[in-house]
Structure 1
Amino acid sequence: MSVCVFIAGKSVTCLAGLLFSLSWTHSVEKTEWVEHWQTQNELLVLQETFVKGSGAGIDPAPNAVLDDGWYRWKPQTAVVVPSISLANSELTPDNWTLCALDAMTRRAGECIDFAKFEDQGVESFTIKVSR
């Protein structure tokens, strides 16, 4: 199974695997944000969220744990979606990054830096599972 990035309905690049991270920098607070997602039956399931600090628009969940400067939490209610839609914002200091994760270590492997699409005038992306 793969997680693919779609632009205007066409698959432009994919990562193989069942687990991946989606990361970015918050546009107002300039705070790092990372989410771990898992593919399951052609759906995306949020596993865990990590936020480096807090601030405007960044409210760690009530069950969040502060660990080495990162708030970390798992959703209390399952978050399952067929796709993730993202905007290409000039306000975000670092663009989206999608990385395959090793299931045992949770370390990033191959990554897609969405900055590579900036010169192509792309305004939005969709991430979804593909077989």
Structure 2
Amino acid sequence: MIGLCLGLAGVMWAHVPVDDFTLAWTHTIEKVRWEEDYRVTVEGLLLGEARVKGTGAGMEIPDGAELYNGSWHYRRQLAPLQPLRLGRTPEAGDYEVCFDKACHSLSEWLGPPRASQPAVELWSCIDSIE
């Protein structure tokens, strides 16, 4: 089954069997929530809609974004990401992966963010256990 792999440099630390998910996090300075919807494809992670609750330092709202339900909604045309690299440190907090109407911090699969491992990559992959 295709799903979401979590790891670094092609080494899988965890596999989440999902077809799509929302990546969410809170901006470390402005304390504003960001969300990005992804579809898991063989080519990589395909970004769909993204949302942000407000603006601030380094948080410009993209051209064409529309405000509704308290968030700015927008789309960017990007090639599938394979991998998607995320900075992950104790100071910044953790990311959430949301699917099936629930959100899960990356800590559930990877343990808490550590200064000694300041990044994680997400990519589409096939679970070889099947």
Q: Shorter-chain TM-score: which interval?
A: 0.7 to 0.9
- TM-score, scaled to structure 2: 0.80
Q: In the alignment, which residue of structure 1 is the partner of 2:119? A: 124
Q: In the alignment, which residue of structure 1 is the partner of 2:88? A: 88
Percent of aligned pairs with the same amino acid = 24
Alignment of 1:11-30 (within 5 A): 11-30=12-31
Relative distance call for 1:120 and 1:96 in structure 2 (3 A) is same
Residue-pair matches, total: 123
Q: In the alignment, which residue of structure 1 is the partner of 2:32? A: 31
CA offset digits 1:96-117 (Å, max 9, x no partner): 1123x34xxxx346x3433723
CA RMSD of aligned residues (A): 2.2
Amino acid in structure 1 at the alignment position of 2:21: F
Structure 2 unmatched ranges of 5 or more? none
Stretch moving more, 5-14 or 60-69? 5-14
Stretch moving more, 37-46 or 113-122? 113-122
CA offset digits 1:35-70 (Å, max 9, x no partner): 001112231110011101111111122211111221
- TM-score, scaled to structure 1: 0.80
Amino acid in structure 1 at the alignment position of 2:95: W
